[in-house]
């Protein structure tokens, strides 16, 4: 038998193994998805005492799932773990209660579409909205996540005192270009702790910077600043 033939056989055998593993992976993914209905029921039980129209998205939980898997993997890069599980989570979330992305992209629509897909999965419908306000109104219903490009206007300044809407995430474009905020009807305690967003008055921003906090303004309107706040672990003290 020629070497080419032997290799072809070896490849066939390995591909059979891959096919079997793929089938097992698929069964596990479907088992994971089977939990969606029970999770949705438990959340809607909770929402009787809370906000019935709140999103079922739980950003803090998603971040902790992805972080944990990142510590467990031996060879899969963090970015791949995040991409694979973001997609699984998107399927799960849509199975719990379908939502859409209300997108307002004034400057970089193509980039915003890609960022929306990378963050919220490929199955969530994207509806283009004519203005930031229209996207925010849609988010207020709890049936959509508003994804609004930061650039023109100060639509974000009203989020400072908004009782219903929270900044879920910031999708930061390279070099600060083409960045967007994801905004949704969500209680702030559902948000991740490592990075948060806030609208701060100039004096408040200066005070926090003075205390050495990792606060970075990404947009300014009058005396208001839209800021990213990173929680940085304190440097350990050098031994005396
Ligand atoms: C399953 C849940 O709902 C959503 C989907 C998640 C997932 O698929 O792991 C995680 C958080 C939520 O955004 C949950 O809250 O645990």
Residue 230's SS3 state is strand
- Within 10 Å of residue 27's Cβ, how many Cβ atoms? 10
Q: What is the pLDDT of residues 112-136, one digit of tens each?
A: 999 999 999 999 999 999 999 999 9
Fold observed for domain 53-197: D-Maltodextrin-Binding Protein; domain 2 (3.40.190)
68 pocket-lining for ligand 1 (C-beta < 6 Å): no
Burial state string for 33-60 with b = 16 or more CB within 10 A and e = fewer than 16: eeebeeebeebeeeeeeeeeebbbbbbe
- pLDDT at position 176: 63
Residue 207, φ and ψ in degrees, nearest 5: -65, -40
89 pocket-lining for ligand 1 (C-beta < 6 Å): yes
- pLDDT at position 99: 98
Q: List, for the chain, all residue ranges whose pLDDT scores fall below the cut of 70.
A: 1, 47-49, 175-176, 233-240
94 pocket-lining for ligand 1 (C-beta < 6 Å): no
- pLDDT at position 234: 61
Q: What is the pLDDT of residues 160-193, one digit of tens each?
A: 889 999 999 999 877 667 799 999 999 988 988 8
CA distance readout (Å), 56 to 52, 77, 144: 10, 28, 11
What is the CA(89)–ligand 1 centre distance, in A?
6
| Smallest CA separation from ligand 1 atom 9, residue | 89
What's the gap between Cα 158 and its chain centre?
22
39 pocket-lining for ligand 1 (C-beta < 6 Å): yes
Query: Rounded to the nearest 10 degrees, what angle do helices 78-96 and 59-72 cross at?
Result: 140
């Amino acid at each position: 038998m020629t070497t080419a033939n032997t290799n072809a056989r070896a490849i066939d055998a390995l591909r059979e193994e891959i096919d079997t593993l793929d089938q097992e992976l698929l069964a596990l993914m479907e088992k994971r998805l089977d939990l969606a209905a029970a999770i949705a029921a438990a959340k809607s039980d909770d929402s009787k005492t809370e906000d019935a129209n709140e999103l079922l998205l739980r950003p803090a939980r998603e971040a902790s799932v992805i972080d944990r898997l990142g510590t467990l993997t031996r060879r899969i890069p963090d970015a791949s773990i995040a991409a694979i599980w973001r997609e699984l989570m998107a399927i799960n979330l849509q199975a719990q209660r379908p939502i859409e992305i209300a997108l307002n992209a004034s400057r970089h629509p193509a980039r915003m579409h890609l960022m929306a897909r990378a963050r919220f999965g490929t199955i969530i419908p994207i509806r283009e909205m004519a203005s930031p306000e229209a996207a925010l109104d849609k988010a207020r219903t709890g049936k959509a996540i508003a994804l609004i490009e930061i650039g023109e206007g100060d639509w974000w300044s009203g989020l400072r005192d908004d009782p219903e809407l929270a900044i879920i995430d910031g999708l930061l474009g390279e070099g600060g270009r083409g960045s967007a905020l994801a905004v949704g009807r969500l209680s702030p305690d559902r948000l991740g702790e490592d990075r948060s967003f806030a609208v701060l008055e100039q004096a408040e921003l200066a005070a926090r910077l003075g205390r050495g906090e990792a606060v970075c303004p990404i947009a300014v309107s009058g005396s208001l600043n839209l800021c990213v706040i990173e929680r940085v672990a304190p440097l350990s003290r050098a031994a005396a």
